[in-house]
Every structure is written in C-alpha cells, then in structure tokens.
Amino acid sequence: VAPPAFKDEFGGTLGATCIPVFLPLTVLYLLCVCRSPVASVLQWPPVLPPTAQLWDPLAPVLILGWMALQSFFYLLPMGKVRRAGMVLKDGSRLKYPINGFYALCSTAVLLTLSLWLGMPLGYLFELLLPLAVCAIGVSFLLSLYLYICSFWAPHHALAQGGNTGNPLYDFFMGRELNPRIGSFDLKYFCELRPGLIGWVVINFGMLMKEVELRDSASLAMILVNGFQLLYVADALWNEEAVLTTMDIVHDGFGFMLVFGDLAWVPFTYSLQAAFLVVHPQSLSPLGATAIVTLNGAGYYIFRKSNSQKNQFRRDPTHPSVANLETIATATGKRLLVSGWWGLVRHPNYLGDLLMALAWSLPCGFNHLLPYFYVVYFTVLLIHREARDERHCRAKYGLAWDSYCRRVPYRIFPYIY
C-alpha cells in the first residue's frame, strides 16, 4: 500500500474525482472557443456547440484505425527493436522497441500518399470535436480496463503511488506500473505514439484547411507546424530517454496518463494551429525572425541539457561529462552540480517554456486562447518540479539538501 505522502498527489481523492470530469470538459470547451469568431476564453455564457457537432460516425473509425496503425508500426522490427529499461522492484528489466522515429516517418509517407490521392485532410478541422469526444471515450475505457486487469498483476508490478486501496484515486493514478499485453507495453506505446504523432497530424490538417480556405498557408501556420514538428521529431529520435522519466519509472498507468497521452496532448497542444484557421495572423519578417530565434534558443537549452543528463546516466566517464562536478549520494549515484544542471535544477524545463512561448507568439496578442498552452505548461512543470523535489529529497536525503544549496534556482535563473 502506498505511504501517506503518495495519497495526496493531485489533490488526493477530491482531485482524482474532479479531474476526470473537469479536464475532458476543458478540452471540449477550448476546441469550441477556438472555432468561435470571438475566441474568448472569458466569454459568458460560454460557447456551447449543438450536440450534433459532437458526434460523427467517421470519428470512432478514425480513432480506432489510428490506434491500430500506430500499434502496427510499434510491432514492426524497425530501428533498435529491443532495449532494456530501468531495473524494476523484482530486479528484472523490461525490453522496449525503440522505433518511434520510424513510426513518425512512416506516418509522413502515408500522409504524402493521402495528399497525392486527393484525400481532404483539411476535413480534420470539422472533425476536431467528434474526434476529441471519441479520444476521451477511449481514455475512460482503457483506464477502466487497466484498473480491472491490475488486480491480476503480481504485487511487485504495482506502482507505489497508485496502490492506495482507494478505488477512485487508484483508477486515476494507475495501479500497475508497466501493464502489458504479451510484450506490448501499453504505457510506453501511449506515451509517445498515438497522441504525439497525432498532434502533428492534426496540425498538418489545420494547415491544409488554411490552404483550402485561403489558397496558401500563412507564415504563422508554417512556423507553428514547423516548431511543433521539430519538438515531436526530437522526442521520437531520442525515444530511449523516456525510459528514465517519472512517467515510466514511477507513475502507474491510469486515467491521468491515459487521458493525457490520448486526448489532452493531441487536442490541446494543437490549439494554436486550430486557432489560426479561424483567426489568421500576419507576421512581419522581423517578428518571424525574433520568434524563430526564441524557439531556437529554447530548443538549444532543452536538447543540450537533456543530452548532458542522458549521457551522464549512460556513461559518467564519457569525455563530454567526465569533468563535470558532482555530489555523491548514499544510493551510490551522483548528482550533477555543474554544466547545464549547475545553472538551474531543471534547465530542460526552461527550454521547454521558451519553446512554448514561441509556439504561441505567431497567433498575435489579441486573444488569450493561443497562450493557454504556455500558462498550462508553466503550471504543469512547476507542479512536476515540486513532485521531483519530494521524490529526490526522500531518495537522496542530505545529499539533496546539499545539492539545493549549490543550485538554488529551480527553473528560471535568479527568479525561481
């Protein structure tokens, strides 16, 4: 059973009860606002669509077909077919296919073929609400399946934070750490495949809708598509790094991650592109250059800091990290206190937030909606940093206190 500290995450039972209701409604509300002429998140009464707009029989076919297609790519013997993950409670290591980038490339080939065949990819704009409704439905059904199946899992396979005995909380957090069907790892698959690749496909659909409406894609739309495609391609190119993240190593696979992976990511992260379909923006060359520079700076910080961390974890004796200053811990591991990780405790989060701002700036300053992602992501990363802080303090003890004294700033140098 989980210790008391784990039972209070995400607001405990109250949060686990309210979030599965509030967040799906938030997704649908944001999509409705995005399509409205005013596009005001503060509009009252709120923009509510007729129920007929929430359903299209094509939507479940596309959602299930998309999941099946990405599952097929996951199972193909492309790339590094198997790689050991982190050591589990029973001393074993699971193995994973490292072929997400090939899945992205294969998807791009199919999209190109679809364009050549004249398929109306811009119709995704009309289908956004029905697709989101179906993705939310799949999230609930998969979460229920995972919760029920977890009672047949061995005790060592359970996640510490999702094994409290409270059904609502455990459903939300996820009881089982690495649920699998045979060798098919459900959490690992959902983490980077259907939602992340689906995000860039939706973005491309929005670009094609703009071409359909205005005969060409705007510079703002091209920048949003390009920035976010780079981010997704980077995540899939460096797929092995996800095996050491909190999502994979610590969190169970319940509604929190299922909904985030399958519904929240593709339908809220693509809001900027959907916004630009209805609310086109013009960018000056100088403005575009400044935005590209901001995104480039954010990406540089994000990639360099993550690469340094991953290299140190793989091989602390590698020449690129061998001379970095570290602090020894009682666990035998060492904490970096120089390089990128001596600047702030989470330099990768800093890079993430700079990119998030760059993705929103092409949408102008007349509406708050395109900046939802920046606000949400700031809250998410501050919350995640606080979770990291608790876990690291519990794990490393006095060494962590020493590290915090050496690196006092969490995300923003000299600010926070």
In this prediction, residue 143 carries a pLDDT of 96
CA distance 309 to 315: 10
Distance CA 148, CA 301 (A): 42
Give residue 47's pLDDT band: very low, low, confident or very high (50, 70, 90).
confident
pLDDT in the model for residue 7: 54
Segment 117-129 shows an average pLDDT of: 93
* 139-157 residue pLDDT tens: 999 999 999 999 998 888 8
For the cut 80, the answer to whether the pLDDT of residue 1 exceeds it is no
Residue 184 pairs in a beta bridge with 181
Examine the pLDDT at 87 and tell me if it is beyond 60: yes
> What is the DSSP annotation of 157-217?
GB-GGG-SS-HHHHHHH-SBSS-EETTEEHHHHHHHTHHHHHHHHHHHHHHHHHHHHHSS-
Mean per-residue pLDDT, 282-287: 93
pLDDT at 358: 96
> What's the average model confidence in pLDDT over 167-172?
92
Global pTM value: 0.89
Q: What percent of the chain has pLDDT over 70?
A: 95
Mean pLDDT of 244-259: 88
300-343 per-position pLDDT tens digit: 999 999 888 888 877 778 888 778 888 888 877 888 888 888 88
- What distances in angstroms separate CA 157 from CA 71, 94, 254, 299, one per listed residue? 23, 11, 14, 36
Local structure of residue 262 (DSSP, 8 states): I
For 276, the 3-state DSSP assignment is helix
- For residue 334, what are the β-bridge partners? 328
Q: What is the per-residue pLDDT across 185-232, written as a single tens digit (0 to 9) for each?
A: 999 999 999 999 999 999 999 999 999 999 899 999 999 999 999 999
Say if CB 48 and CB 32 are below 8 A apart: yes
Please report the pLDDT score of residue 394 as a whole number: 82
Closest CA to 197 of 165, 155, 239: 239
Q: Is the pLDDT of residue 86 over 70?
A: no
Residue 275 pLDDT: 95
Secondary-structure percent of the chain, ordered helix, strand, coil, rounded to 5: 70, 5, 25
**Structure tokens belonging to residue 173:** 């957090």
d(CA 317, CA 314) in angstroms, rounded, equals 9
Segment (H or E) for 378? helix 372-396
Higher pLDDT, 331 or 107: 107
